Amino acid sequence: MQPGKTFQNLSPEKQERITRIAAEEFGDKGFDGASVNAMVDRMGIAKGSIFQYFGDKKGLFRFVFNQSVEMVKDYLRTVRDQSITENLPIRLEKTLGAGIDFIKAHPLLYRLYIKVLSESRVPFREEILLSLRRHSIHYLKSLLEQARERGEIRQGADLDKAAFILDATMDRFLQSHTLIHLDGGLGIYKASSDTTDLWIKDMVGLICHGIGANDNKTIKSDNYILISAAVDEEIAGLRAKLKDPSPLLIGNRTAIMGKLGQRQVMLLVTGPGMINTAQALTAAIEARRPGMILQTGCAGAFRESGIQIGDVAVASLEIDIHSGLEPPDGSPFPDALPFSLLKNGGTEYKNHYPLNETLVAAVFETLQSKDGKKDFQIRQGPFITVSTITTTDERAKALFDRFAPFMEQMEGAAAAHIALLYDIPFVEIRSASNIVGNRDRNSWNLPLAFQNACIAVEAVLSKADCLKALNP
């Protein structure tokens, strides 16, 4: 029931005051205990006005509750829209966080919900609660559907049942934050923000990844390829073709296990830069050691290399150009470090990471073959890893004169370092999105680079002879 026109004609301030006082009275005393006389005294209006506006006490209650529900929906819509690019665990964490924020901002409105749950004589109770549950499940199912489209949920999962489990668990958690008898001594009731955030994160982790024994042992280390990229768009083309996708939480990052062709793979978005890459790969290896690491994505190509936008290159050498000793002559590039960053098999590594020549050659030959080559050029050469993106032609020329690189990116040296540390075969395949130098974003073609890099990776995975290091 909507309020009468006389209520709608009131000023927004007076409407808000009447609604707030009624919500406080109902939330504090329940429907039966709430007094219309007490409400109108606080509102400063005649008792007859309540009946003129809402028909009766039941109409007032229903209006107030519906207004509360609309406020909750606004909170959820904000979370849904602002988290659209996030993975499912983050979206669920933000949804629960929004629930906690609502309770703190509107404690009496949440108490009104609790009254409806606990008092059987509340008018329209079944209708109200059914509507609430339907809206909550619809909202959660929409998050699940979007997650499944992104390959974060296995295709065969029953989303209705999943939404029901999420709704039940999340609703109980919010109630436990408000009602001590539902806490069970776990410390949820009126917990501090830090404790609540930790509860939310851990609980979402359990929801998304289950409580069964870790299934890492079900996939042998020599049977899957870890495919890493800095951002999600770089592997979206691979994720779309992934069979039997199964999301994992790796190093507090979402990864997806599945099959590309006949190959078992893990798709891992590390985040940009060397620190993100090293952390994410280390976490993935410690959780489930791969047979090989394949780094992919877009990169800037050096004009002198002959690579054009959309072309694909395979790294033969990874160089971290920012690790070194400050040169006394003011050179823009550091001298070699006086110590090694890594020792492996009697070899010391400072900032140059040579890659397995046999594996690189096999990958390159596969991409050059009739089956592997597509509508782009294939090259092989050194890649440099930078922490500061090159933005001038002068700097680009100086880099090429010093290192003769084919491509510039921000992750390769870190990935090569971690692969060497763990003795895991490593290869990097990138497609050029731009030419290194003066930044003209209008000349860039990120979608083409994303597409061609994924095409190249698929071609490599389809060739059994190309990946002998895996001993499949």
Query: Quick one: tokens of 446?
Result: 């990120």
Whole-angstrom CA distances from 150 to 44, 146, 214, 269, 399 are 55, 6, 23, 13, 38
Name the more confident of 251 and 266: 266
pLDDT digits (tens, 9 = 90+) for 363-414: 999 998 865 446 899 999 999 999 999 999 999 999 999 999 999 999 999 9
Instruction: Based on the fold, state whether residues 20 and 95 are members of the same structural domain.
Output: yes
Of the candidates 411, 401, 218, 206, the residue with the CA atom closest to the CA atom of residue 319: 411
When comparing pLDDT for 166 and 108, which is higher?
A: 166
**What percentage of the chain has pLDDT greater than the value 90?**
44
Q: Are residues 362 and 453 in the same domain?
A: yes
Instruction: Convert the pLDDT of each residue in 217-254 to its tens digit.
Output: 444 444 799 999 999 999 999 999 998 888 888 888 88
**Domain boundary residue among 161, 183, 209?**
209
Domain boundary among 162, 188, 209: 209
How far from chain centre, in Å, is Cα 239? 14
Residue 417 has pLDDT above 90, yes or no: yes
Cα–Cα distance between 263 and 243 in angstroms, integer? 10
The pair of three-digit structure tokens given for residue 402, joined into one six-digit string = 């010093």
Question: With bands split at pLDDT 50, 70 and 90, how would you rate the model's confidence at 194?
Answer: confident
Residues 200 and 220 in one domain: no
What's the pLDDT at 215? 46
- Residue 385 domain boundaries: 216-470
Q: Tell me: do 159 and 260 sit in the same domain.
A: no
Residues 145 and 262 in one domain: no
The answer on 260 and 185 residing in a single domain is no
CATH of the domain at 79: 1.10.357.10
Closest C-alpha among 322, 290, 88, 64 to residue 208: 88
Q: Which of the residue ranges 187-196, 413-422, 423-432 would you say has the lowest mean pLDDT?
A: 187-196
Looking at the 3D structure of the chain, how many domains does it have? 2
The predicted structure's pLDDT at residue 217: 42
- Whether 29 and 154 map to the same domain: the answer is yes
According to the model, what pLDDT value does residue 372 have?
Answer: 45
Q: Is pLDDT at 469 greater than 50 in this prediction?
A: no
What are the beta bridge partners of residue 249? 254
Q: Which of 238, 463, 237, 228 is nearest to 365 (CA)?
A: 463
Position 345 pLDDT exceeds 80: no
pLDDT, average across residues 348-356: 91
Is residue 110 located within the same domain as residue 231?
no
Residues 184 and 304 in one domain: no
Q: How confident is the model at residue 201 (pLDDT cuts 50, 70, 90)?
A: confident
CATH of the domain at 249: 3.40.50.1580
pLDDT at 293 over 90: yes
Kind and range of the H or E element at 458? helix 446-461
- Same-domain pairing of 227 and 202: no
- Residues 252 and 156 occupy one common structural domain: no
The sign of the dihedral angle between the CA atoms of 108, 112, 118, 122 is positive
For residue 403, give both structure tokens. Answer: 């290192």
User: DSSP readout, 174-189?
Assistant: HHHHH-GGGTTTSS-T
DSSP state of 44: T
Which of the four pLDDT bands, split at 50, 70 and 90, describes residue 202? confident
Same domain, 203 and 228: no
The residues that bridge with 226 in the sheet, in sequence order, are 266, 293
Instruction: Decide: pTM greater than 0.85.
Output: no
Domain end, chosen from 154, 184, 209, is at 209
